[in-house]
């Protein structure tokens, strides 16, 4: 059973249901009656879920990974270059993808294409699977007849985005490892080493050196107030999380992150790489600068840059040039300068591609430098903690011996 939407010759919108073998047969029947097909959807009965099968419902609850989308775009580019019809490409792709949610979306898109809809229209029905950049680029590809090239560019874009994301995550992992290692050593000393040490020293009845007394007092404080400290820490983390979910809170946190030494630069490098790389792909595909800025603004994670790009799109629409529209204290002068050159020479897409590569290289170098800094820092922090315990211990032994 298929539900349909169609327009009559007089422009009246009609809806109904037809029993047929496939969506193509429904479309043919409707066209025979002089109707223009708008939409066709298969309706299936399946127990308590009604018109949607449990398998389809379960598939929609699982997200589509970036790797699955890259694989799909690569497949589509290859099949379209080979000359396969679009409907057949989608049908074959649906049998190859591993993501249940993407598989279900491709099956529905295949039916829509068979019913006479465009690929961009079919994609637009699945915004939870395909981002705006996909739909906008496909619209451009349909107008130029270069869908295979668009699919290839989408795959490259997602690969770059995934690579940047992994690099940024790697940059954040090192400090977390240092903190966790230091906390682990501190907990072990406070709960296992120092109590036995204190018991041994205090049992001798001698006055302790200041370093030894400070160590014992500090360990006692942590044991007595450990749960309170953990509770306050969790509350602070929850508060930061809640604050970050608000618009003003996210802007404030993102602004603070940009000013943090070392990490702020990595965020700038990552944002500039993503901004310029995505913009070059969009503009090479025929997307206007105005739409490019709007789409790119949604791709940038940092709210400071995202909001600036949205403001810049309005400035460009009012007639200002791109370079002056994106000027901001946190926007590197190299970016605005090179974009101004690109606008003057008519090579903006190529220059932004080069900027994307340049900032991605800076990000990689920055992460390597951070790694080189973190390793000795980890040794100093953990070694310093252990060293202080030994120092206090031997100070106490010398005091007892004296």
pLDDT digit string, tens, across residues 377-395? 778 877 887 788 778 778 8
Average the pLDDT over each of 85-89, 136-140, 358-362, 398-402 and give the range with the smallest value: 398-402
Domain locations along the chain = 155-402
* CA–CA separation, 280 and 274 (whole Å): 10
Q: What is the pLDDT of residues 95-132, one digit of tens each?
A: 888 888 898 899 999 988 988 888 988 998 888 888 88
pLDDT reading at 83 higher than 50: yes
Q: Predicted confidence band at 88 (pLDDT cuts at 50, 70, 90)?
A: very high
Q: Which residue has the higher pLDDT, 362 or 38?
A: 362
Q: How far apart are CA 372 and CA 374, in angstroms?
A: 6
Q: What is the arithmetic mean of pLDDT over 335-342? A: 94
Considering the entire predicted model, what is its pTM?
0.68
Q: How far apart are CA 374 and CA 366, in angstroms?
A: 12
Q: Which residues contact 152 (CB under 8 A, 6 or more apart)?
A: 73, 74, 77
Q: What is the pLDDT of residue 142?
A: 87
Q: How confident is the model at residue 376 (pLDDT cuts 50, 70, 90)?
A: confident
Pick the CATH number of 155-402 from 1.20.81.30, 3.40.50.1100, 4.10.490.10, 3.90.1720.10: 1.20.81.30
Q: Are 41 and 16 in contact (CB under 8 A)?
A: no
Average per-residue pLDDT in the chain?
A: 83
For residues 312 and 331, what is the distance between their CA atoms, to the nearest angstrom?
12
């Amino acid at each position: 059973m298929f539900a349909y939407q169609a327009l009559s010759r007089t422009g009246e919108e009609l809806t109904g249901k037809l029993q047929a073998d496939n969506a193509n047969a429904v479309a043919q029947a409707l066209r025979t009656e002089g109707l223009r097909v708008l939409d066709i959807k298969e309706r299936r009965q399946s127990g308590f879920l009604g018109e949607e099968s449990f398998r389809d419902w379960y598939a929609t609850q699982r997200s589509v990974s970036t790797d699955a989308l890259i694989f799909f775009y690569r497949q589509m580019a290859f099949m379209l270059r080979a000359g396969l019809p679009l409907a057949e490409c989608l049908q074959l792709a649906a049998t190859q993808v591993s993501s249940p949610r993407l598989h279900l979306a491709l099956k529905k898109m295949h039916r829509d294409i068979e019913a006479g809809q465009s690929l961009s229209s079919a994609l637009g029905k699945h915004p939870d699977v395909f981002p705006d950049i996909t739909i906008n680029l496909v619209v451009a590809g349909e107008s130029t007849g270069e869908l295979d090239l668009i699919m290839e560019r989408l795959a490259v874009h997602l690969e770059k985005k995934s690579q940047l994301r992994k690099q940024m995550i790697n940059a954040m992992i090192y400090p977390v490892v240092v903190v966790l290692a230091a906390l682990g050593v501190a907990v072990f000393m406070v709960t296992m080493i120092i109590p036995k040490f204190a018991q041994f020293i205090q049992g001798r009845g001698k006055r302790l050196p200041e370093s030894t007394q400070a160590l014992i007092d500090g360990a006692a404080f942590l044991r007595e107030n450990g749960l309170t400290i953990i509770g306050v820490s969790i509350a602070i983390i929850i508060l930061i999380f809640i604050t970050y979910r608000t618009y003003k809170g996210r802007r404030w946190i993102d602004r603070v992150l940009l000013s943090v030494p070392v990490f702020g630069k990595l965020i700038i490098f990552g944002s500039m790489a993503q901004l310029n790389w995505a913009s070059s792909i969009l503009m090479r595909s025929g997307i206007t600068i105005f739409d490019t800025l709007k789409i790119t603004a949604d791709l940038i994670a940092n709210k400071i840059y995202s909001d600036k790009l949205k403001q810049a799109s309005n400035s460009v629409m009012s007639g200002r040039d791109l370079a002056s529209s994106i000027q901001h204290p946190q926007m590197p002068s190299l970016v605005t300068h090179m974009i101004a050159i690109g606008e003057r020479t008519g090579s903006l897409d190529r220059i932004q591609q080069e900027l994307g590569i340049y900032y991605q290289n800076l990000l990689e170098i920055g992460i390597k430098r951070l790694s080189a800094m973190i390793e000795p820092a980890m040794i100093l922090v953990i070694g310093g903690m252990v060293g202080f315990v030994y120092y206090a211990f031997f100070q106490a032994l010398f005091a007892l011996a004296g």
